[in-house]
Structure 1
Amino acid sequence: MARSQQANQELTEVLNQLWRLDTNRLKPETDYIISLQGKAGYVAQGSNYARDRARAPLFTYVNEDKLKGIETYLHFINLLDNYETSTGVSEKVTSEELHENRLFIESMMETDVMKYAHKYLVSKGQSSSEPGQFKRQLYDIWFRLYHRDRSGGQDSCGFEHVFVGETKFGQEVTGFHNWVQFYLQEKHDHVDYKGYKARDNKYTPDEDDHVLNLQFSWNGLVKPIGGCFIGVSPEFEVALFTIIFLMSTQKMTSVVVKVDEYVLELVVYRHGRSIGTSYPKLLSSNHKDL
């Protein structure tokens, strides 16, 4: 992706339109309540210890009627138990899981967010105007299996890494950048929130923020820092990162954009025709009411 101001300005406008169209986004203090608590400490590379600066869970409340009542969330949640979390362990995809993948893509295609993303990508020559072709493209980007650990079989895909999370060598958490998965894993005591990470000690997030940098452990393994959107719909994240992925041929793409009140660094790594990983980093916020 060109690093020109014009390119970033266009991307900013596109992503802000996605934001405006995301009517399935949950509202802070209404649909969910979080408790940020303390600032997370430093974790040495390779260490599996992080001091706990948050005695209580991150999520105090989530309106589960919304998670069960909005189709894209419902189909998204059905996918979260379809994967082996350890890299190096080959994935076995059942016909039922294939069907669940397709239902999720179909449900996203019905949203204004994904319709807009598709229209934009067609205008840029990055996607076919034929919906069936675009669905196959989404499938390849997010669900096509590939080798992450070269010692084993096809053990990973973009969706698993970004939204579900993986463990590497039984020693570290990789990926896991989704708030719904975080909430559900925390609810079942698999996630222990350790605190938030502020960038260069210059910016302190607040509990209305829709983007956070978090530290946590998952089944006893530490994620030193992970950026994730909070409250946004699954289709918003898929649309946003699909656009960045398709508009770049680089192995790693990093763009800084202002979406609503947030200045974000959006990072996407390519793994052939698929996403290797993608995540947001919160740089700053204007703290205005949404």
Structure 2
Amino acid sequence: MPGDFHVHTQYCQHGADDKMEAYVLQAIEKGLTHLSFTEHAPLPESFTDPAPHRDSTMDRNMVEAYIMEGKTLQKMYKNDLQINIGFEVDYIRGYEQETQTFLDTYGPEMDDGILSVHMLQAPDKSFFCIDYSEEEFGRAADAFCGLTSLYKAYYDNVQASVEADIGHFKPKRIGHITLIQKFQLAYQKPADFSKERQNILELIKKNGYELDVNTAGLYKPLCKEIYPPVELIESAVQLGIPLVPGSDSHAASGIGKGFKELSAYTLQFPKRINM
């Protein structure tokens, strides 16, 4: 296993209080050679976090501290672990310019990055954080007048994220592309979106991007599968898309969790984002 390339920290407002060094020590103990800190980048300044507790990302005022702590750990453990510092960046349609401004500012400091969709705008213009909770997902489905429209909006936004021009430092790894299925055991998938998902994979391939193979869904009680599921991973393999493993850990104990389920695949290191 090359490493864990989707990891959050104490700077995440909805994660554990474990210090970044605890993640590093856990990675070393588990025999990993690489670790990417990909903390949730602050949302655009003009955007209001729709999560009930407004805790989707790190505090904007803590970005510099996060980067500095990561760089300190890089030096401390340079002989034991390759540590990458980066962000998981939200793609929010209509906020591309502010997202690019953030990336233009901090991109030179980034070693790694992930581009993900968590926020969707309903027809009434309200936004929802679709992975926040089962209850919030249900409210989103109502606002979209049904699960079919909600799923379609999600995959449309993931496709838009792949196609978006948000500057030189745009993350080239697309995060958990089936996150919409986090609550699938409570809200059954309404239709077959295989065409939309295959199209997203083909766009990822066309653009030379990578796929976040994310084991977190295995441990979500209403999901119980990898993001993306096995059949989509197989399609990505056939297309020659690089598969980059990530635990999406929000606590040090989650480093490398579920990676045994990925043993059948050839996994790769991410490309450096600031090349």
Q: TM-score, normalised by structure 1?
A: 0.27
> Which is richer in strand?
1
Scaled by the length of structure 2, what TM-score is found? 0.28
